[in-house]
Structure 1
Amino acid sequence: MKIVTRFIVILAAAIVVAVLILRETAKQRQETQAPAPVEKPRAFVPPYYADVRGVPIPKTLPPEQFKVVKTRASYRVAGEIPQVLMQLPCYCWCDRIGHKSLLDCFVNDHGEYCGICQDSALWADKRLKERASAETIRQEVITNYSR
């Protein structure tokens, strides 16, 4: 009986020592491994036309029909630089109602009530006058609204 008891005690002690050694080894391995890089989820970019060649340009509403100065200015811009606005996404999430680019916001009264649409159109006009390309303006819009 003493032999069996002694064997069980020695076996239990060996198991405890083995568990402690394995735990310490695993801990050291974790500390020496570099943490896995955290991948940032890609931000959703609303639709736009990367190339407008051959794409019909929709007619925008006349700016004169709007009383608010900023609204009138944004509709004027939409009528003057439609190809540029077609190459820009709109971050008011109007793609959910079928818009394919920022220009679509100005073919009806949607742009009248949306500050994001107006601000984006006026920004595009300002940057175009500073000789920025449509691609550059698009990246600026995406960077600004993807935060």
Structure 2
Amino acid sequence: MKSTTRFVVFAALAVLVGAFVLRTTRQRESPRQPETPPQTQRRSSHVPPYYADVRGVQVPRVLAPELFGVPKTRASYQVAGAIPQALMQLPCYCWCDRIDHKSLLDCFVDEHAEFCDICQNSALWAEKRLREQASVETIRQEIVHHYSRGFRRK
């Protein structure tokens, strides 16, 4: 074979091998989407952790609201400091249990809740409902109902 023909054959083989490797790598990186459309998938029944009973459980301190400049963030940290035992009895649906949080209150012991709308909204909702005389159990059921709709743990 002429050197030009050899070069073309090797170049074609290199392109084919490269395409095969790229295709194989992409298949591994992005798993196939499920066959069923999202609206028909089963909902997750997982409820993140919370304390059903806080008697005898040490209540962690939350960060001072004054550390935060955004009004909603400041308000949610203030709520966490005002009703810590109630927040200990509530789950948090931002899946922070992956970083060992045991309840909604744990989101406020560091800067985690500063950037998390789910944590902030849940705390502010709990405070509003407590002012309306709702029980912690009722608030927990409301949060579970609200956030479990359509959420799937990944």
TM exceeds 0.5? yes
Deviation of 1:119 after TM superposition, in Å, equals 0.2
Aligned counterpart, 1:70: 72
Number of residue-to-residue matches in the alignment: 108
Deviations along 1:31-61, one digit per CA (max 9) or x if unpaired, are: xxxxxxxxx6661000000000000000000
Counterparts of 1:41 and 1:97 in 2: how far apart (Å)?
23
> CA shift at 1:109, angstroms?
0.2
Please, which runs of 5 or more residues in structure 1 have no aligned partner?
Answer: 1-39
- 2:9 maps to none
Structure 2 gap segments, 5+ residues each: 1-41, 150-154
Larger radius of gyration: 1
Partner Cα distance (2:132, 2:46) in 1 = 28
How far does residue 137 in structure 1 lie from its aligned partner after superposition?
0.3
What are the equivalent positions in structure 2 for 1:98-117 lying under 5 Å apart?
A: 98-117=100-119
Shift of 1:98: 0.3
Aligned counterpart, 1:48: 50
Residues 65 and 139 of structure 1: CA distance in aligned 2, closer, same or farther (over 3 Å):
same
Give the match for residue 81 of structure 1.
Answer: 83
Matched-pair identity in %: 71
| Cα contact 2:90–2:103 (8 A) shared by 1 | yes
Taking structure 2 as the reference length, what is the TM-score of the superposition?
0.69
CA contact (8 A) 2:44 2:148 kept: no
Match of 1:123 in 2: 125
**RMSD of the TM alignment (CA)?**
1.0
